[in-house]
A and B are shown apart, each in its own frame.
Chain A
Amino acid sequence: MTRFLRLPRLSWRFIPVWQRNYLVWKKLAIPSILGNLADPMLYMLGLGYGLGSLMPDVAGMPYITFLAAGTVAYSTMNAATFEVLYSSFSRMHVQRTWDAILNTPMTLDDVMLGELTWAVAKSLLSGLAILAVIWGLGLYGDFWMTLAIIPVVALVGFCFGGMGLVMNAVSPSYDFFLYYFTLAITPMVLLCGVFFPVSQLPPLLQDVSAWLPLTHAVDLARPLVVGTVPVDIPLHVAVLVIYGSTGYVVALALTRRRLLQ
């Protein structure tokens, strides 16, 4: 394993890979957008208004606002994760598109950077759609501050894109991804303050939560929706950057072992 591990060589050559994914996506943009966005939106509106009407304010805000802020992070995480799991896996393993690209002057570093940046683009789309709903329903405190959510969304996409690529590298089939969802993604949704404040968890789980990247995504997004400056910005940003870039580097080594030996 260690002989496959090396620092990524980043270059602008990744752009044609990104562009390839974009051109394919453009062909199916409408169903793809609906598929990606309808689900989180329905949860947010259904639970937000349905459950929210039974509840007093949560963490000092109406439940729908609380949930909307959580949904920005959660839906961004999902968009990036689905992209680098199912879609990247199709391209790498099923269609052998990566093999075709690797026969050109592209390197695996380029291909995977293209995939990662494409996952960020899909995340942005997903996050922006939720943000549009937040704007439309007036769920925000300060409009200008909500604009800062856009880079947050990109960062969250980078984080979960990088992590997901590791799963992509080790997966024998699509079925394998279910483990990642049941063991990582779903617990994160429940432990990281998407649906309810982390402070409601038992202390031990609160400690676990502090180490999970989605917690830091939510801690950045929620204040920005409400209209306050997040606390500990450098910490949250660092956690998301570290998870994402470690994921990319490890995924690169694992994929190199998988495809290039």
Chain B
Amino acid sequence: MLSVRGLTKKYGDTEVVCGVDLAVRRGECFGLLGPNGAGKTTTLRLLLGLVEPDAGSIDLAGLPVPARAREARMKIGVVPQMDNLDPDFTVRENLLAYGRYFGLDRAAITARVPALLEFAGLAHKADAQIAQLSGGMKRRLTLARALVHDPEILFLDEPTTGLDPQARHLIWQGLRRLIGAGKTIVLTTHFMDEAERLADRLVILDHGRVITEGAPRALIEAHIEPAVVEVYGEGLEAWTRDHAGVVCARSETVGETLFCYTADADRVIDALKLAPALRYIHRPSNLEDVFLKLTGRDLRD
């Protein structure tokens, strides 16, 4: 469905995307993960043919991009990072206007509007102004708008950034419905739980390069011990010195917290009983641990 080879984009001397290879199969939800500035959005813009690559080839739904990007975009729905709904139109008019950009006639769009509104849970808001919608409603409308021409592939750029937990769950529900209906989805996110929930496969990008790829579960198993004990509180330094090296398979101190990775959490917890002032959280390892291990814990601005 999407095949990318050696994709490279430079701005001046900075390589924002360098030699990225991707392969997305039909019907798959594919995650593009990475810290801020990793090149996720630039990659999406390259895939859409909005930006010309300096090197590499893109084949999107059987069409070479950017050479035939216009035709390729006929088959793609895009949910951008920042809401850009038309504030001068109502909910329904937004869908009508957007459909026309794809060359659809009014009758064809009008026929699709009720299903799209139902999908977005906005049937009761059809004639509302955009300013009256909540953040979650705007996102759902943006998602419905991206479906107005019944695309084969959906590109979502951080679809739940800035939403509250309820609103995020509604978006995920919608996306699962689309995956169930056989749509191919390419999703960028820096929320690891989102990627773990939705993506069949994913790549982690850092500094414009793919640093790993695979299914979320497989990545966790390959890179991280099964359990994590996060330890913090008074006396952490002494405990770390005396016990961490013995009971943790691998450990890492970040700020005032010790991350202890292990296959045998009971042993760690037993050792923690020796220092009752310490507090801890015991949890299974997750994609975030993989992500932080591979991209480092330094702050990206």
Q: A100 vs B99: C-alpha distance in the bound complex, in angstroms?
A: 12
- Selected from A23, A95, A101, the residue in CB contact (under 8 A) with B93 is A23
A95 touches B84 (CB 8 A): yes
Identity of the chain A residue whose Cβ is nearest the Cβ of B149 in the assembled complex = A104
Of chain B, the residue at the smallest CB distance from A12 is B103
Is the Cβ of A105 less than 8 Å from the Cβ of B86? no
Report if B51 contacts A (CB, 8 A). yes
Interchain CB contact under 8 A, B86 and A97: yes
* Sample (22) of A-B pairs whose CB atoms are under 8 Å apart: A16-B101, A17-B101, A19-B97, A19-B100, A20-B97, A20-B100, A23-B93, A23-B97, A24-B86, A24-B89, A27-B88, A95-B86, A97-B86, A100-B84, A100-B85, A100-B86, A103-B73, A103-B76, A104-B101, A104-B102, A105-B103, A260-B51
Evaluate contact between B86 and A13: CB separation under 8 angstroms: no
Query: Does A107 make an interface contact (CB < 8 A)?
Result: yes
CB distance from B14 to the nearest CB of A (A): 13
Residues in chain A near residue B97, CB distance under 8 A? 16, 19-20, 23
Which residues of A have CB within 8 Å of B93? 23
User: A261 within 8 Å of B by Cβ?
Assistant: yes
- Of B48, B50, B51, B82, the most chain A CB neighbours within 10 A belong to B50
Known contacts A23-B93, A105-B74, A107-B70: A100-B80 contact under CB 8 Å: yes
Interface pair A261/B51, CB less than 8 Å apart: yes
Chain B residues packing against A (C-beta within 8 Å): 11, 48, 50-51, 70-71, 73-74, 76, 78, 80, 82, 84-89, 93, 97-98, 100-103
The chain B residue with its CB closest to the CB of A102 is B50
User: Is A96 in contact with chain B by the CB < 8 A criterion?
Assistant: yes
Residues 1-37 of chain A, each 1 if its beta carbon lies under 8 Å from chain B, else 0 = 0000000000001001101100110010000000000
- Nearest CB of A to B263, in Å: 46
- Whether A101 and B51, one on each chain, are in contact in the complex, defined by CB atoms closer than 8 angstroms, is no
Contact present for B84 and A99 (CB under 8 Å)? yes
A106 on interface, CB distance cutoff 8 Å? yes
Closest beta carbon of chain A to B232's beta carbon, Å: 42
Residues of B within 8 A of A23 (CB): 89, 93, 97
CB-CB under 8 A for A95 and B87, given A102-B50, A103-B78: yes
Which single residue of chain B is at the shortest CB-CB distance from A25? B88
Which one, B84, B87, B102, contacts A105 given CB within 8 A? B102
A13 → chain B closest CB, angstroms: 7
- B289 CB to closest chain A CB (Å) equals 34
Most chain-B CB neighbours within 10 Å: which of A95, A99, A105? A105
Give Cα distance in the complex from A24 to B74, angstroms.
Answer: 25
CB distance from A90 to the nearest CB of B (A): 9
Taken together as a complex, chains A and B put the C-alpha atoms of A17 and B80 apart, in Å, by: 19
Give the contacts of A53-108 with B (CB-CB under 8 A): 95-97, 99-107
Inter-chain contacts of A102 with B (CB < 8 A)? 50
**Given the complex of chains A and B, what is the CA–CA distance between A192 and B280 in angstroms?**
79
Bound-state Cα–Cα, A261 to B78, Å: 18
B71: contacting residue among A16, A95, A97, A105, CB under 8 A: A105
Query: Which 5 residue pairs of A and B lie closest in terms of their CB atoms, listed nearest first?
Result: A96-B84, A104-B101, A16-B100, A103-B78, A24-B88
Alpha-carbon gap, A107 to B49, bound state (A): 10
CB <8 Å contact, B73 and A105: yes
- Return B128 CB to nearest CB of chain A, in Å: 15
For chain A, residues 103 to 155, give those with C-beta under 8 angstroms from any C-beta of chain B: 103-107
Query: Cβ of B89: which chain A residues have Cβ within 8 Å of it?
Result: 23-24
In whole Å, how far is B262's beta carbon from the nearest beta carbon of chain A?
Answer: 46
Q: Which of B48, B82, B87 is the one whose CB lies under 8 Å from A103? A: B48
Known: A27-B88, A260-B50. A100 touches B98 (CB 8 A): yes
Scoring A17, A101, A103, A107 by chain B CB atoms within 10 A of each residue's CB, the highest score goes to: A103
